[in-house]
Amino acid sequence: MMTKQSHSLSLYAQLCENLITYIKMEKRPGERMPSEREICAKYHISRTTVRSAFGELESLGYVYRRPGQGTYVSSLWRQRQNLLDSYSFTEQMVQLGKEPDNRILKFQMITAPHYLAERMGLLEGAKLYQMKRVRLANGTPMMVETTYLPEEIFPRMEVEQVGKSSLYDFLQQQYGQVIRYADEEFTAGIVDAEEAHELEVAQGSPCLRLTRQTVNNKGQLIELTFSIARSDQFIYRVRYHQTEEGKGNEDV
């Protein structure tokens, strides 16, 4: 049932959450979803809201559409959920039999400049935590991450708390954040003098640059991270699947 909650959680976001829960608890891949008209009648909301919610669920891999037939449950959400669950650098290193560690180089509150505010959907001048850290495995620097977190969502955050565990575990356990999805961009590059020093490689060495944006279950962007990874330590592997809806999908 839809409720009149705080403005931070719109009817659209509530509907997305309700439909995702319904899919996880009651539906199987390939089964047909209720029609837009049925959902409108059940939740007393507009058809535009329902269509927007279905569009969001389709982009997240929960459903797919068959023209003239309706909307059906996809199996992609299970694969994408597994991908997000396994993203944690800490967990990945443990699975590889390596000892993960963090070296925090910087942790401070900053005022969001225009380019960060625009990218994170914030007002210019909003308060952000800036955290720069080196991620290590068996004492070897693997990557350098610079992370930005909105102070409005994560009030009173202390560096001592962040450094004790996986960042995502911390955000979930201390602030109740549930990740809906994360988008990543990968580009090739070379390290400058400062990056070379932090990664303990020669200046001009090749690297992989990653940009990650993480969105919670309310549709808020809660994290923006820029990473530089050593190319001699990282392999990016993709496997493509053919799904029941006839579209290719990839596992990273």
Instruction: Name the residue ranges covered by the structural domains of the chain.
Output: 11-74, 81-230
The fold adopted by the segment(s) 11-74 is Arc Repressor Mutant, subunit A (1.10.10)
- pLDDT score, position 78: 62
What digits encode the pLDDT tens for the residues 51-83?
988 988 887 788 998 988 999 998 776 655 444
What pLDDT, on a 0 to 100 scale, did the predictor assign at position 238? 57
pLDDT at 237: 61
Convert the pLDDT of each residue in 24-49 to its tens digit.
Answer: 889 888 999 999 999 999 999 999 99
Residues lower than pLDDT 50 in the chain: 1, 3-9, 81-86, 245, 248-252
Domain spanning 81-230: CATH superfamily: Chorismate lyase-like (3.40.1410.10)
Q: Which pLDDT score is estimated for 167?
A: 85
pLDDT at site 13: 80
pTM value is 0.66
Task: Classify burial at 248, counting beta carbons within 10 Å of its beta carbon; exposed 0-12, middle 13-18, buried 19 or more.
Answer: exposed
Q: Rounded mean pLDDT of the chain?
A: 83
What is the per-residue pLDDT for 213?
A: 92
DSSP letters spanning the chain: ------TTS-HHHHHHHHHHHHHHHH--TTPBPPPHHHHHHHHT--HHHHHHHHHHHHHTTSEEEETTTEEEE-SHHHHHHHHHHT--HHHHHHHTT--EEEEEEEEEEEEPPHHHHHHHT--TT-EEEEEEEEEEETTEEEEEEEEEEETTTSTT--HHHHTTS-HHHHHHHHH---EEEEEEEEEEEE--HHHHHHHTS-TT-EEEEEEEEEEETTS-EEEEEEEEEETTT-----EEEE-TTS-EEEE-
